Amino acid sequence: MMELATPDAGQTAGSIPADGRRSVRRVAIPCIDADTIFDVTVEEGLFASIQPAGERADSAGPGGLADVPTLWPAYTECHAHFALPPNFDDSLDDPAIMAMQYLYHGVAHVVDMFGFPLVKAAWERSAAQATLPYPEVVHCGYAVTAMCGYDGKIGHGSEFPAPVFMLGGKHDLDVILEGNRHLGATFLKVMFTNGVEQPGGSPRFSRISPEMLAALAQVASARGISCVLDCNTRDEVMLAHHFGFRYFAHAVRDEVLSDADWQQLSGSCFVSTLSGLRPMVLRREEFLDEYGRPGFSDTQDTRNLDFVAGIDEPFGIKRNCQESRTRAVETMRQNSLAALERGMLLTGTDAGNSGCFHGYSLLGELRLLSARPDAANLPLQTVATVAGRQFFDRMAGHASPAHPLRVGAAATFNLFSRHGHAAGGLPDATLIRGIPVDRQQVVKTIQALRASPTQGKITL
């Protein structure tokens, strides 16, 4: 693992001081200037200096910039659910394990898209006792959805093991917003989809009416509350955009958006979330390949490997949706790549859904979005770090988020041993608020929890 150094010891010092001043020298920071080499100093957990080292990339040495270590802001997971069970046996890991799963993979910020109040007390209790720094979390409390319709269809979100607020009339809006505020929410998640995934598909859920959605937009705007909408289709996104909503929890899955569509949606952002839907269509060999990368066995419940090794056909075949879900995943990927080209993409996974794992799946998401999973992708890496962190800050209530790498900001970053590391690569070193993350200690913490009487599981 790469190590940080004291100012006098050089980049490869054998230990990291527990506090005080530390530095990284001669590193590339592509999200600031891809052609310059920097020296970075950290004091008391903050960036004390980020200075050009007096060298350009073309003078970096025999290998050029490829031989220079690279510093990026830590990853941000833009769509997760701490209270939903990602394991195939529907078990829920202890929040202390989920925190370690994110730390291991260099993720320092997580946007929880509903349900966090269910695990908040356990999270805060374990964080207070931990020797490692926990990721920061912003959350929406409980999502807002439609009432059960006269046809028996429920509002999307009601099918999950987490509470939702059902919006019946305008008089409910102040109650819902105040209730979520009391729970510590800093933004609002709105379920605005009837569940259609392909053109001509049949609705699966009841949906908030356009009139109610317009009223919600007005009340949220008046209170200065950001909203993230859960939409499946182009038409749902267009209608929500018409009412002033700009943040969408998923990429559109029913149609590939046209250039005219993207122009109309100017100012919007979409979270990719391929990893949340993809397990539905994977075959045994694809599952084993997906979960066979470094980090899975160290951080996740390995009984999941036994489970997928025993499946005989994809879940989509059993549920008669293999073709439609396969098309939906590919359409989401195409729309995500188009959003990336236009600066309208955020990276997130929908972790908490079956087979979509905290920390691990975010790096897999980046590989799914990269044209060459074994090659560097600077625009995508920038989205997963800088744009993701700024989205986190907006959801926390900051109207104009600053760049995360700046003097005076918390020193939270990942280091990679070479400049051309693959998109979604596992960091060689991670600092969270100036504190180095010992990945061996992370693994030992997870192992100890899984060896405990609870086996590292909780029941809500």
Q: How many domains is the chain built from? A: 1
Q: Which of 59-63, 126-130, 175-179, 442-446 has the lowest mean pLDDT?
A: 59-63
For residue 58, what are its two tokens? Answer: 């073309």
CA distance linking residue 460 with residue 456, whole number of Å: 13
Please tell me the predicted confidence (pLDDT) of residue 20.
64
3 state DSSP class of 281: coil
CATH number, domain with residue 250: 3.20.20.140
CA distance linking residue 412 with residue 72, whole number of Å: 9
Please tell me the predicted confidence (pLDDT) of residue 400.
87
Please tell me the predicted confidence (pLDDT) of residue 11.
38
Q: What is the pLDDT of residues 325-378, one digit of tens each?
A: 999 999 999 999 999 999 999 999 999 999 999 999 999 999 999 977 777 899
67 part of a folded domain: no
11 part of a folded domain: no
Please tell me the predicted confidence (pLDDT) of residue 13.
25
421 part of a folded domain: no
36 part of a folded domain: no
Q: Which of 40, 29, 33, 107 lies closest to 69 in space, CA to CA?
A: 29
Provide the residue range defining the domain that includes 214: 74-399+437-458
Q: Which of 45-59, 299-313, 373-387, 438-452 has the lowest mean pLDDT?
A: 45-59
221 part of a folded domain: yes
Average pLDDT of the segment spanning 410-414: 97
Average pLDDT of the segment spanning 158-180: 94
Distances (CA, A) of 158 to 145, 184, 191: 8, 21, 10
Q: H or E element: which one contains 11?
A: none
Q: State yes or no: pLDDT of 3 exceeds 70.
A: no
Q: Buried b / exposed e across 36-59, counting CB within 10 Å, b at 16+? A: bbbbbbbeeebbbebeeeeeebee
Average pLDDT of the segment spanning 293-298: 96
| 92-93/33-43 β-pairing | unpaired
42 part of a folded domain: no
Average pLDDT of the segment spanning 443-455: 98
Token pair 């309208």 is found at 344
Q: Which of 106, 162, 98, 86 lies closest to 130 in space, CA to CA?
A: 98
Please tell me the predicted confidence (pLDDT) of residue 9.
33
Q: What is the pLDDT of residues 229-285, one digit of tens each?
A: 999 999 999 999 999 999 999 999 999 999 999 999 999 999 999 999 999 999 999
Q: What is the pLDDT of residues 83-104, one digit of tens each?
A: 999 999 999 999 999 999 999 9
Q: What is the mean pLDDT of the chain?
A: 92
Q: Mind giving me the DSSP string for 376-445?
A: --HHHHHIIIIIHHHHHHHHTT-SSPPPSSSTTSB--EEEESSTTPPTTPPPSEEEETTEE--HHHHHHH
pTM (predicted TM-score): 0.94
Neighbours of 243 (CB within 10 A): 17
Average pLDDT of the segment spanning 105-115: 98
What is the band of 18 on the pLDDT scale with cuts at 50, 70, 90?
very low
What is the band of 34 on the pLDDT scale with cuts at 50, 70, 90?
confident
Look at phi and psi of residue 167 and say left if phi exceeds 0, alpha if psi is from -120 to 50, else beta: beta
Token pair 């919006």 is found at 167
58 part of a folded domain: no
31 part of a folded domain: no
What is the band of 8 on the pLDDT scale with cuts at 50, 70, 90?
very low
Token pair 């800093």 is found at 186
Please tell me the predicted confidence (pLDDT) of residue 420.
67
CA distance linking residue 69 with residue 51, whole number of Å: 15
Please tell me the predicted confidence (pLDDT) of residue 66.
65
Please tell me the predicted confidence (pLDDT) of residue 116.
98
